Amino acid sequence: MKRKFITLVRRELWEYKNGFITLPVVCTIILSVLLSIGYLRLAPQTEPSQAANTQAASQAKASTSTVSQSTDAKPGDANRGNLNEQFSEFSNLPVNELPIFSHIDALRSAVGFMGFSQWVIAAMLNIVLLIVILNYAHRAMFDDRKNREILFWRSMPVAEAENLGAKLFIIYGFAPLIVFANILLGSIICWLATLGNHTGGSLQALMQLLHSFAIYKKFLLFLLTLLPVVTWTLLASAYAKKSPFMLSAILPIGLIFIDRIIHWATGINLYIRTTVNAYTDFVSYCFQGINQGFTTAHIISAIPYLLLSALLCALTIWLRNNRYEL
C-alpha cells in the first residue's frame, strides 16, 4: 500500500516537475540574486566615510549662503538655482548614502535584509505556486481521460481514492515543502550577500533561517483555506468534456449572474451569491487567523467547508469510477 502510493506520487512529479520543481527554483534563484545585488549596491554602510560627510556639509553651507545672496534675482532664476543646488548636495555622495536609500530599514542590517528578502521570496512563491496548483488541479483528472491513460490505470490494482489522494498530496504535502526548501535556498543566497557587506550581523542573520518554518506553516494554512476551490477544480477536471477551466470558472460566475437576475426579476433568492460571500468572508477570516493565530472559532467555522470538500472529493471518485470517457 505504501509503495503503491509512493509510486503514484512519483508519477505525478514526473509529469509536472517543471511546474512544481523547476519553475520555483529558477524564480527563487533569480529573485535572490537580484535582491543580493541590490543589497550590496544600495545598503548604507554603518560607518559612512567622514570625507563624504564633510563634503556634503560644506556643500549644504555653500548652497545656503548662495540662496541667501540671490534675493535680487528673478523668481524663475531663483527656483532653478535652488533645485540645482539641492541636487548638487548629493552629486558626490555614494549611491548607498543617498537619503532615499539610507532610510530603508531593511538595508540597515543583515538581519533586516534577511527578513525582508524572505518575505519577498515567499510572496513570489505563493503567487507562482498558486498558479501552478490551479493549473495542475485543472489538468490532473482531465489529461488522464484525454490521453486515454485512465484505461491503463483501470487495469492496474489502483483505487481512484488512492489516485485522488496522490494528487491532493502533491498540492498539500509537496507544494508547501517546495516553498520551505526554496525559501531556505533564497535565504542562503541572500545571507552570502551579507558577508560581502560591512553592515555586520551576518552571524545573527543565520537565525532568520528558522523563520522559514513559520512561512511554511502559513502557506500550508493558506492552501487549506482554499480546499473547497481545489476540490471543486478537481471535480471539474474529472467531469469536463472539453475545457475544465470553462466548467470550474464560468459555471460559478454564470450561476451568480443568474441568481442576481432572478432576484431582481422575481425577488426569489437562490442563495448562490450568499454562499459565495460567506466563503469569501471565511477566507478573509482565516487570513487574519494566519497572521494573528488560529482559535477554536476558526476551526468551527471551517467544518462546513471541510464537509463540502469531502463531498466534492466523493463526487470526483464516483465520476472516475463510473464515467471516464470524453
CA distances from 283 to 83, 277, 279, 311, 312 (A): 50, 10, 6, 19, 18
When pLDDT is cut at 50, 70 and 90, the band that residue 49 belongs to is very low
Of 131, 184, 133, 178, the residue nearest 24 (C-alpha): 178
Distance from C-alpha of 248 to C-alpha of 140, rounded to nearest angstrom: 13
Q: What's phi and psi for 199, nearest 5 deg?
A: -75, -20
User: Quick one: pLDDT band at residue 230, thresholds 50, 70, 90?
Assistant: very high
Predicted local confidence at residue 204, as pLDDT: 72
pLDDT of amino acid 149: 67
Residue ranges of alpha helices (H) inside 70-109 are 75-88, 99-102
- Chain segment 76-109, per-residue pLDDT in tens: 455 555 555 555 555 555 555 555 455 455 566 7
C-alpha–C-alpha distance, residues 73 and 222, integer Å:
63
Please give the single-letter amino acid code of residue 85.
E
**Which grid cell is 122?**
515567499
Number of Cβ within 10 Å of residue 247's Cβ equals: 20
Residue 171: closest CA among 10, 7, 20, 326: 20
Q: What is the DSSP letter of 90?
A: T
- What's the rounded mean pLDDT across residues 212-230? 91
- Which residue, among 154, 205, 166, has the nearest Cα to 14 in the 3D structure? 166
Residue 136 confidence (pLDDT) = 93
Q: How many CA atoms lie within 13 A of 50 on its CB side?
A: 0
More confident residue, 293 or 128: 128
**What values do phi and psi take at 293, rounded to 5?**
115, 135
pLDDT at position 47, please? 43
Q: How confident is the model at residue 53 (pLDDT cuts 50, 70, 90)?
A: very low
pLDDT recorded at residue 93: 53
Q: 10 Å Cβ neighbour count for 68?
A: 8
What's the rounded Cα separation, in Å, for the pair 40 and 64?
33
Instruction: Please give the grid coordinates belonging to residue 126.
Output: 505563493
First to last CA, the chain: 30
